[in-house]
Amino acid sequence: MRISTKGRYALRVMIDLAQHSKDEYVKLQELAERQQISEKYLEGILGSLVRGKLLTGARGKAGGYRLNCEPAQCSVWQILSVVETSVSPVACLDEKENTCDRADICITLPVWKELHSMIRDYLDGVKLDQFLRNSPKARGKIPGGKNWNCGL
């Protein structure tokens, strides 16, 4: 499993919104500038997150985006599941029902299932608020906190 740029950017944006928006909307331009992502590309990611019900989007002068979940409840797995085409280690596990002709006799399938379960369990246990508590800015490592999440 490889996380795409879209998945990494979606996670960065969700962390940014957890950090900067309590009950108010954050404008697309602000997010794009802080995260150094083009507005056009970011618009597609935000659209996916809104369709996945992780964000609310509002138009107009006071519009923008805000989280639909508490940072302590929103997991990395939820975010990646919304924006990634696949989060499975092998193609035969992409669908709820494995339609592979060899599924009944595949001796490697249990390994892939267990790996998928471990990945899901781990990422489902990592919540947005953990990034806020563990960021270099929160620990005082980066003056002003600019670009603290550049590794994502």
For residues 152 and 143, what is the distance between their CA atoms, to the nearest angstrom?
19
DSSP 8-state class, residue 70: -
Does 139 score more than 60 pLDDT?
Answer: no
Output the pLDDT for position 37: 95
Query: What pLDDT, in 10s, does the model give residues 46-102?
Result: 999 999 999 999 998 888 999 999 999 999 999 999 999 888 888 888 888 888 889
Does 143 score more than 70 pLDDT?
Answer: no
Band (152; pLDDT cuts 50, 70, 90) = low
Mean pLDDT of 102-112: 92
**What length does the chain have?**
152
Sign of CA dihedral 18, 57, 11, 87: positive
Instruction: Tell me the pLDDT of the chain averaged across its residues.
Output: 87
Band (135; pLDDT cuts 50, 70, 90) = low
Provide φ and ψ at 57, rounded to 5°.
-115, 145
For residues 75 and 71, what is the distance between their CA atoms, to the nearest angstrom?
8
The better pLDDT of the pair 150, 38 is held by 38
Q: 5-87+128-143 is classed in which CATH architecture?
A: Orthogonal Bundle (1.10)
- The 10 Å CB-count burial string (b at 16+, else e) for 54-80 is bbebeeeeeebbbbebebeebbbbbbb
Provide φ and ψ at 38, rounded to 5°.
-60, 145
Instruction: Name, in order, each residue with C-beta under 8 angstroms of 10's C-beta and a sequence gap of 6 or more.
Output: 45, 48, 49, 79, 80, 82, 83
User: pTM here?
Assistant: 0.83
Does 142 score more than 60 pLDDT?
Answer: no
Q: Where are the domains of the chain?
A: 5-87+128-143
DSSP string across 101-149:
TTTTT-SSHHHHHHHHHHHHHHHHH-BHHHHHHHSTTTTT-SGGGTTTT
Output the pLDDT for position 87: 87
